[in-house]
Amino acid sequence: MKTSRFMRFLGGRDLVFGVALLILIGITIFIYTKVSFIFNPVLTILSTVLPPVILAFIAYYLLNPIVNLLERVHINRIWGIIIIILGISGLLTGLILLTAPAIETQVKELASKFPTYLQQMGEGIDTWIQNSFLAPYYEQGYAWFTSNLSNVTSRITEHLGGAVEGVQNVASTITSVVVAIITFPFILFFLLKDGDHFKRFCLKLLPPRYRDEANQILHNMDIQVGSYIQGQIIVASCIGILLYIGYLIIGLDYAITLAIIAGITSVVPYLGPMVAITPAIIIAIVNSPIMLLKLGIVWAAVQFLEGNFVSPNVMGKTMQIHPLTIIIVLLVAGNLFGIVGVILGIPGYAILKVIAVFFFEKFKARYNRYYGEDYGAYEEK
């Protein structure tokens, strides 16, 4: 029986098998929702294994180019890995020993004084509003806030489930962090040593017909994710260093602590810098209007240098993602997965984009095969 061109375009008989597969997947998901408790041990294992694996992959993308460089200059790969890990561990240990006392002092002092800073800033804003045309609206807003949000503390306490459970959660989180920090160097070592062998092993599991395409997808993913992680960490480090220098020049209190916060949060594009500047603004406002002006100049200078010199040379054009897309991805990923989603949202989007582009190219080739002669070819680029 002859099938129509449209059915052949959709896959012909393969379409029936595809629909049947989707139905089976739907049934499987439905059954999983009914017996999901059976998989709790699996989820526990994954939650334990994933953090060190993610850390190891981030470090892998940072260090693998250096290991490859050492291998090209005839240094055995294993010795190159050991040298790099020991060298970085020693460097980090030295930096921590040198900066830890100053950072500890600043963090303790900032933690103790920050509520006072917030109170002083709030009093200043309150005084300004009371003497401005916004005074009537301020009274209404304060009354609404008092009537509707007066029991926020009790609601938060109920939501967290009490102090005992909160302490248990904190202890569990600290334990997970310590386990991840201890185990990820071992995972990193074997990733650097056997990463290419593992990739070839996975490709051999696929039918020979699909190996070249799968290898191309993995290669594109590697480029996208690797360039993003390397570039973002380098950019964040440059921002932290530049802000530290700027804060020292203008004499802002807690310079190294604020610079470290800015460097860490700048890993998240667009949203990170807004979070980074907030504590510095509060401290500058309480200090004096002149300090706030100086902070604005420093921040503008750092953003100018980062936007015009650092990011274009480090990030390049590899991550071709529109800024609006980045903001949407960060908001959605943060809402779904919390802080982990905010950090890993862009690399995850890059992976999905590579897969989507691959299948779209396949779709265009299939369209050209069945409809190109009659209606014109689908543009390849």
- For residues 128-152, average pLDDT: 56
Locate 171 and state its tokens: 């202890």
pLDDT at 157: 46
Question: What is the value of pTM for the model shown?
Answer: 0.68
Q: Indicate whether 66 pLDDT > 70.
A: yes
Helices 271-287 + 77-130 axis angle, to 10: 50
> Long-range contacts made by residues 220-226, C-beta under 8 angstroms, separation at least 24?
220/354, 220/358, 221/350, 221/351, 221/354, 223/318, 224/318, 224/319, 224/347, 224/350, 224/351, 224/353, 224/354, 225/61, 225/347, 225/350, 225/351, 226/61, 226/64
pLDDT at 156: 43
pLDDT at 191: 84
Residue type, 66: I
| Lowest mean pLDDT, pick from 9-23, 340-354, 358-372 | 9-23
Q: Indicate whether 15 pLDDT > 50.
A: yes
pLDDT at 153: 44
pLDDT at 121: 66
> pLDDT tens digits, residue range 271-317?
777 777 888 888 888 777 788 888 889 988 988 888 777 776 765 55
Q: Indicate whether 22 pLDDT > 80.
A: yes
> pLDDT tens digits, residue range 42-51?
777 777 788 8
Domain boundaries, the chain: 48-118+174-205
| Lowest mean pLDDT, pick from 95-104, 179-188, 198-207 | 95-104
pLDDT at 325: 81
Q: Indicate whether 152 pLDDT > 60.
A: no
